[in-house]
Structures are given as structure tokens and as C-alpha cells.
Amino acid sequence: MKKTQAVMADGREIVYYDTRDDAVRTAVDTRALDPVVSGSELRYDRLLDEWVVVASHRQTRTHLPAADACPLCPSTPERATEVAEADYEVVVFENRFPSLSGAGSEPGTEVATTPDGGPFPRRPADGRCEVMCFTPEHRASFKDLTPERARLILDVWTDRTAELGALPGVEQVYCFENRGREIGVTLPHAHGQIYAFPMVTPRTAAMIRSTAAYRHRTGRNLFDDILAAERADGSRIVATGEHWTAFVPAAARWPYEVHLYPNRRVPDLTGLDEDARAEFGGMYLDLLRRFDRLFDGEPAPYISAWQQAPVRSGRVDFALHLELFSIRRAPGKLKYLAGTESGMGVFISDVPPETAAARLREVGV
């Protein structure tokens, strides 16, 4: 994998990733852009022991542009975009409308530590937000890519995890993709995002507490025991490989939700060995294609989220895994977060996990 770093017209970093060692990336961003201004801040919720990001400047971000105005397509002589090159394989650049910015300016504080600052603590939302374009093809989706491209993307996720995790003040790196207007995507071009958080996120903190309690109670690893139990039960298994297992969790929150675990536990993407990396692309593309066969030809809106250990805490017992889920519950019907989910955090699932797993097995090829 060849990595070429450059600077955009407003000073943001852009990084090209290529499979070819002879790839040359020399195009210059000629746009007249004002510097990015971000007024984001973190506000602390004392009742829930969580930070909330306030990023009002994002109200003006680009929203569902026409295909001929897409900022993620390669540049042409007639139109300059976020990507100065006329073509690319995978490219990553700093978001022009970031929720978090200024990573590395000063050390962060752990989310579990109640901050000082009176009754309404707040601090700058230091961190970094990156956009990752998977393909130059505007109408392509991740599922349309080759296993080789999926492998390159995995290697890029890994590189960004290492790079961002090394920045002072960064506590956790989160790689994810949102697909579909129903999810809230504002740019239809196939892309993902990478967040470098200045705190451990609430979901990860909850998993770390659970694994620590389980270790104290049993002396074993909770992730290992869940994976072993799912493989032994089999009713929720969707697909298995030599190095990965895909299953619907027994307490799935979403109508169709699949967790993809490496069979050998590692804390984050940097820990995957070559065998697991080689097998990932085929298995992941298979899952995405199964999702798109579920709803009579309707593309499945989905979120694909890498769960990784924090940079400095909770790493010993944490297990890297991918969580893939759709909010579509049936053709023409979406799963909305209604009163119980949004108001109380209690999910009510419309599809039994065993039924979802059976359906996902049926639509395999």
C-alpha cells in the first residue's frame, strides 16, 4: 500500500492510498477556500456521566448535492472538488465541517472522570474528523467493490487507527460508514468517516465495565465466551470463515443486525494478522450483499461500525468487532426510534434475532 500525503487549499490534510507502488499523486487543490472554522464544544451531562458534542457550524454542511456537484468525486478540468486528483483508489481527508477538531493541541481527560467547571462543565471538542472515500465511482456502493479494494480499505482503516490514536489527547478511534438517506446520509457518494474522540465513548465504556465485571466474577473473557456460545448454538450464525464469524446477537436491537468477530481476539484493527486481513474482504462484501437482498430490491440503509478498544484503557479484555445493522424492518417500512428507545433507551425489536439470522442465511449465494 502506497500512502501519499498532501495539503488542501484551506490547509486540511488529504491522504491518498494506492495498491500500486508506482502511483503518482501530484495534483494541487486550486480552489479559493476560507480556513475551516469550528466552534465545537463538549458539554458534560452529570446525570448520565457522558459528554455531548455541540457543533452548530455543521448546520451549513453540504446536503444531498446533485451528482454533477458531488464534492467527493475526482476533480475535472471543469470542476474542482475535495479531491484534486482526476482519479483515486481510496482517499482520506479532514472533514470541512468537523464535529471535533484540533486533536493534539493538549491532552484530553477520560470521560469517566467527572470534570471541574461548576454545575455545567464544558471544554473544547478537541479531536479529528475525517472523510474516507471508498471509490471514485459516484453511483457505486461498498458492496459493488472487489475483495481487493475491500482489503485496501481495511488497511486504510488500520493505518488511520494507528495515526490518529497516536495524537495527544485522542482516547478512541471510530471508523464507520452510513449508507442511505433514511440513515441521514447527506452525501450519496460511497464514503465513510473516522472520528478521533477526546474521550471514551459511552457505548465502549459500558462494554468495558461489563467485561471487567465478568472477568472479576468468572476469570474469563466475556467476548470470547459470547463468540464461543454463538458458534456452539448456531441458530444465529449467518456466515463463518476460518478467521471470522458473523452472527446476529441474541439481544439484537435492530431488525437486521450482524456482528462480525475475528476468531482470534484482538483489541483493535492494528492487531489483525495477515490471514484475518486476507479473509475479511470476501466475508464483509458477502454480508453487505445479503443485506441488499432482504427487501425486494430496496437497498438496505445501514450503519457499519467498528468497535475498537480505547487507546489507553480497557484494552486487555476488549475485542475488536464490526457491528452492521439496518433500520429497515420490512419492504417499505423503517424501524424508527420511538418513545421507548429515544425516551428510555429500551429497544423493542420487531424481528426475532433467530428469524433475522435465518433470513440472512437464505439470501446468501
pLDDT tens, residue by residue, 193-223: 999 999 999 999 999 999 999 999 999 999 9
Q: What is the pLDDT of residue 293?
A: 97
pLDDT tens, residue by residue, 47-61: 999 999 999 888 778
> Residues 318, 305: one domain?
yes
Could you say which of 184, 201, 218 is where a domain stops?
A: 201
Query: What is the average per-residue pLDDT within 264-273?
Result: 98
Single out the residue of 265, 258, 307, 249 nearest to residue 286, CA to CA: 258
Q: What is the pLDDT of residue 110?
A: 42
Query: What is the average per-residue pLDDT within 266-291?
Result: 98
Core vs surface per residue 105-133: b (16+ CB within 10 A) or e: eeebbebeeeeeeeeeeebbbbbbbbbbb
Could you say which of 172, 201, 230 is where a domain stops?
A: 201
Q: What is the pLDDT of residue 53?
A: 95
302 pLDDT more than 70: yes
Helix (H, G, I), strand (E, B) or coil at 10: coil
Half-sphere exposure of 72 (CA within 13 A, CB side): 32
> Residues 192, 273: one domain?
no
Single out the residue of 100, 79, 90, 97 nearest to residue 14, CA to CA: 90
Q: Who contacts 82 (Cβ-Cβ below 8 Å, separation ≥6)?
A: 8, 14, 71, 72, 93, 96, 131
Number of domains in the chain: 2
Q: Give the pLDDT band (50/70/90) at residue 111.
A: very low
> Residues 151, 297: one domain?
no
Q: What is the pLDDT of residue 318?
A: 98
> Residues 55, 192: one domain?
yes
> Residues 266, 318: one domain?
yes
Q: What is the pLDDT of residue 113?
A: 42
User: Grid coordinates in use for 224?
Assistant: 470470547
Q: What is the pLDDT of residue 105?
A: 53
Q: What is the pLDDT of residue 297?
A: 87
Could you say which of 155, 178, 201 is where a domain stops?
A: 201
Q: What is the pLDDT of residue 239?
A: 98
> Residues 133, 227: one domain?
no
Core vs surface per residue 23-57: b (16+ CB within 10 A) or e: bebebebeeeeeebebebbbebeeeeebbebebee
Domain span including residue 153:
2-201
Highest mean pLDDT among 103-107, 119-123, 281-285: 281-285
Q: Give the pLDDT band (50/70/90) at residue 108.
A: very low
User: Which entry of 57, 138, 189, 191 is annotated as an active-site residue?
Assistant: 191
32 pLDDT more than 50: yes
- CATH number, position 208: 3.30.428.10
> Residues 208, 197: one domain?
no
Single out the residue of 288, 278, 287 nearest to residue 151, CA to CA: 278
Q: What is the pLDDT of residue 152?
A: 98
Q: Give the pLDDT band (50/70/90) at residue 107.
A: very low
> Residues 59, 79: one domain?
yes
Query: What is the average per-residue pLDDT within 288-310?
Result: 96
114 pLDDT more than 60: no
Give strand pairing partners of 316.
none
Mean pLDDT of the chain: 94
Query: What is the average per-residue pLDDT within 178-191?
Result: 94
27 pLDDT more than 70: yes
pLDDT tens, residue by residue, 77-93: 999 999 999 999 999 99
Predicted TM-score (pTM) of this structure:
0.94
Query: What is the average per-residue pLDDT within 242-246?
Result: 98
> Residues 300, 156: one domain?
no
> Residues 186, 304: one domain?
no
> Residues 91, 215: one domain?
no
Does the annotation mark 189 as catalytic? no
Q: What is the pLDDT of residue 116?
A: 60
Q: What is the pLDDT of residue 56?
A: 84
> Residues 224, 179: one domain?
no
